[in-house]
């Protein structure tokens, strides 16, 4: 089995590999640099579009599944929430998706987002870290590493993949 992932981010690729292993699916997983074709900081529904665009970008006749993952934020009840979408397309064109948990961001991070910064840049400033986007990610910084981006993407990947694998 071959699975293409529309990302070179090791946390995203590892989450997909781990989810496939957990589901007892033996697959080679290949990551590719792709563009989401949405805003640099996706908001709300745009996050779903970005994930689907990434999955579409890595489709090939050889891949059994293609996976697009997009992180985004949304504002509800005066608070910003972080979340990600995992969008999977089966070789036959059937699609499925799932989201990670949504978690509230601290107000100081929200203030930086209101100034136009992307979440990772806001996290870097507020918590005085460098390149959180490629290291711990927002969830990793906020939980002091207790929960990683790979952790939250792992469950969402299983949830997105299950309807495509278990379809009767």
Instruction: Retrieve residue 63's tokens.
Output: 């891949």
Asked whether 74 and 132 are in contact (CB, 8 A), the reply is: no
Q: What is the pLDDT of residue 168?
A: 62
Q: What is the pLDDT of residue 136?
A: 87
Under CATH, which number does the domain 2-104+148-165 receive?
A: 3.90.950.10
With residue 109 as reference, give the H or E element that holds it.
Answer: helix 107-114
Q: Where do the structural domains in the chain lie, given as residue ranges?
A: 2-104+148-165
Distance CA 138, CA 144 (A): 10
Asked whether 27 and 90 are in contact (CB, 8 A), the reply is: no
Q: What is the dihedral of CA 2, 48, 151, 145, to 10 degrees?
A: 130
> pLDDT digit of tens for each residue in the chain (168 aa)?
999 999 999 999 999 999 999 999 999 999 999 999 999 999 999 999 999 999 999 999 999 999 999 999 999 999 999 999 999 999 999 999 999 999 999 999 999 999 999 999 999 999 999 999 888 899 999 999 999 999 999 999 999 999 999 886
Q: HSE-up of 87 (CA within 13 Å, CB side)? A: 25
Instruction: Retrieve residue 3's tokens.
Output: 């699975």
Specify the pTM: 0.96
Concatenated DSSP letters for 40-86?
SS-BTHHHHHHHHHHHHHT--SS-SEEEEEEEEEEEETTEEEEEEEE
């Amino acid at each position: 089995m071959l699975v293409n992932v529309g990302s070179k981010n090791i946390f995203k690729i590892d989450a997909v590999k781990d989810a496939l292993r957990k589901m007892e699916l033996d697959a080679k997983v290949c990551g590719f640099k792709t563009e989401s074709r949405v805003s640099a900081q996706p908001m709300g529904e745009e996050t779903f579009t970005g994930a689907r665009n990434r999955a579409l970008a890595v489709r090939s006749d050889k891949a059994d599944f293609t996976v697009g993952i997009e992180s985004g934020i949304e504002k509800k009840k005066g608070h910003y929430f972080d979340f990600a979408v995992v969008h999977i397309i089966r070789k036959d064109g059937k699609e499925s998706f799932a989201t990670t948990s949504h978690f509230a961001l601290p107000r100081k991070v929200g203030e930086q987002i209101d100034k136009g910064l992307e979440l990772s840049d806001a996290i870097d400033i507020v918590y005085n870290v460098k390149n959180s986007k490629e290291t711990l990610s927002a969830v990793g910084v906020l939980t002091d590493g207790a929960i990683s981006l790979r952790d939250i993407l792992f469950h969402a990947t299983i949830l997105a993949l299950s309807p495509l694998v278990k379809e009767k």
